[in-house]
Chain A
Amino acid sequence: MLGMAGCAGSSVKLENPSIPEPLIAQLPLKVGARYPEVFDSFVHEEQVIGKEKWSIDLGRANRILFTQLFGSMFTEFSVIEGDADVRDLGLDALIEPSIDAFEFSVPSQSQTDDFAVWIRYRIKILDADGVQVANWPIAAYGKSQTTTFGGDAALQRAAVLAMRDAAALIILQMDKATGISKLGDAKNANVEPQPDMPPADPDQMNLLTTAAKESHDE
């Protein structure tokens, strides 16, 4: 459903986008995802200085996107509602995605025919014991031309492309960036804690992040 508010700007609503079924081998893991409240209704507005005001309502698009995505990536997947304790869920891993930032640009700002959308997600992963083992920021981008789809449809299309970009990035790099596939092995291994070993300090555990990888590469 697209809304047009004449010369005062425009309001675009994203109707339940879907990503295609990915051509990948699933990871043999039992995974849950817990979503923040903002994934149920996300609205972003931007006022172009001296000109029009634009808004985009993603609605439940983020929830739908990640549910489809993780359902395709893992052999067992479920959405966890509420504040259930991870240790009671019998999962290999719990994923907590969130939105760090959302921006878009319109032709009157960029002096081009393009609408562009940037979304920065953050993927946190907890192991079976509820310990955070990864905190992975990802930046996604989508662009669409106004001459083809018209203003509202172009912004909508750019948002969908940005979400597809995020999905593609997660599929390609999630295991490499977070090591999530090892969590299934770690949970299944019967490791008895040694009496003379100090208990693991969550604050000292290696947090696998893209930023950490980048500094190592430098």
Chain B
Amino acid sequence: MSDFRHSIARRVIVVAITATLLGACVTSRVENIREGNTGILEGEGIVIMAKSYHLGNETEAKFISCVGDSIGRGRTGLRVVPYTEFVDALFPWFEPRTAPAETKGLPTLMSRPGVAEMIKEKGVRYVVWLDGDTDKVAGGGSLSCAAGPGGGGCFGFAWWQNDANYEASVWDLDGLEDAGTVSADVSGTSFLPAIVVPIPLIARTQTKACNALADQLKLFIVSEEIA
């Protein structure tokens, strides 16, 4: 009996180590395309919003919050104006139906009564439009669990792959122009082996995409590199 328990324990440890090594399977690619000068002064801030669902965009609200939190964090964090505060202050000009889809619409927007003054009051220099989402693109395996009076457990192996593709368009409200685009493409595979006890090894694909995009956005906005 003791040998049997040792055997089970050894198998669990082997599976756990193997899955741990495989569980770090996250690949990421971050790019930026600069179209204009950036740079941000003391007191200036940014607002991060999702492109309108009227245009078919499906960016998750928690991803937007994650990017905002990440950009605002730390000593080098930027001032991020909450998007609900910005949208309410500029009602109805940034509603899903009415928000400008291109920078060509910015001069008209800024000429509307009160808009330029409110944007100045909020101290918003850049609007960052997020587009994209995280999808499960592959998966397999099977897992079954059972429980009885003597105990229970799970056996099997499942895996799935998530792809997180996001693009951030940066609009400069000073020059009323498109400053450029930052994109993050992250792919991660998660595993769920189970020998009696399931051992979830989750690739945090969306979180990785959030942090990668936020870091690159911060660099992009702060840098005064000439396009």
The verdict on A22 contacting chain B, using a C-beta distance below 8 Å, is yes
The verdict on B114 contacting chain A, using a C-beta distance below 8 Å, is yes
Contact of A161 among B60, B88, B96, B115 (CB under 8 A): B96
List, in ascending order, chain A residues with CB within 8 A of B118's CB.
23
A195 to B90 Cα, complex, angstroms: 52
The verdict on B225 contacting chain A, using a C-beta distance below 8 Å, is no
Please, how many residues of chain A have a CB less than 8 angstroms from a CB on the other chain? 20
Shortest CB-to-CB span from B172 to chain A, Å, is: 21
Is the Cβ of A21 less than 8 Å from the Cβ of B62?
no
Is the Cβ of B98 less than 8 Å from the Cβ of A168?
yes
A161 to B87 Cα, complex, angstroms: 12
Is the Cβ of B114 less than 8 Å from the Cβ of A23?
yes
A148 to B118 Cα, complex, angstroms: 29
Q: Name the residue on B nearest A166 (C-beta).
A: B97
| Residues 173-188 of A at the B interface (beta carbon under 8 Å) | none
A67 to B97 Cα, complex, angstroms: 22
Contact of B91 among A23, A25, A141, A145 (CB under 8 A): A23
The verdict on B93 contacting chain A, using a C-beta distance below 8 Å, is yes
The verdict on A171 contacting chain B, using a C-beta distance below 8 Å, is yes
Q: Name the residue on A nearest B99 (C-beta).
A: A168
The verdict on A169 contacting chain B, using a C-beta distance below 8 Å, is yes
The verdict on A164 contacting chain B, using a C-beta distance below 8 Å, is yes
The verdict on A43 contacting chain B, using a C-beta distance below 8 Å, is no
Binary B-proximity of A20-33 (CB < 8 A = 1, otherwise 0): 11111100000000
Known: A145-B60, A148-B60. A23 touches B90 (CB 8 A): yes
Is the Cβ of B98 less than 8 Å from the Cβ of A172?
yes
Tell me the dominant secondary structure on chain B's binding face: loop
Contact of B112 among A20, A23, A145 (CB under 8 A): A23
Is the Cβ of A22 less than 8 Å from the Cβ of B98?
no
The verdict on B77 contacting chain A, using a C-beta distance below 8 Å, is no
The verdict on B61 contacting chain A, using a C-beta distance below 8 Å, is yes
The verdict on A96 contacting chain B, using a C-beta distance below 8 Å, is no
The verdict on A80 contacting chain B, using a C-beta distance below 8 Å, is no
Q: Name the residue on A nearest B113 (C-beta).
A: A25
Binary A-proximity of B16-54 (CB < 8 A = 1, otherwise 0): 000000000000000000000000000000000000011
Is the Cβ of B62 less than 8 Å from the Cβ of A20?
no
Shortest CB-to-CB span from A104 to chain B, Å, is: 15
Is the Cβ of A19 less than 8 Å from the Cβ of B97?
no
| Residues 90-120 of B at the A interface (beta carbon under 8 Å) | 90-93, 95-98, 112-115, 118
The verdict on A165 contacting chain B, using a C-beta distance below 8 Å, is yes
List, in ascending order, chain B residues with CB within 8 A of A168's CB.
91-92, 95, 97-98
Binding site for A on B (CB under 8 A): 53-54, 60-62, 88-93, 95-98, 112-115, 118
What are 26 inter-chain pairs, A to B, with CB distance below 8 A? A20-B88, A20-B91, A21-B91, A22-B92, A23-B90, A23-B91, A23-B93, A23-B113, A23-B114, A24-B92, A24-B112, A24-B113, A25-B113, A141-B54, A143-B53, A148-B60, A148-B62, A161-B96, A164-B92, A165-B95, A165-B97, A167-B92, A168-B91, A168-B98, A169-B97, A172-B92
What are the 6 closest A-B residue pairs judged by CB atoms, nearest first?
A168-B92, A20-B91, A23-B114, A20-B88, A148-B61, A168-B95
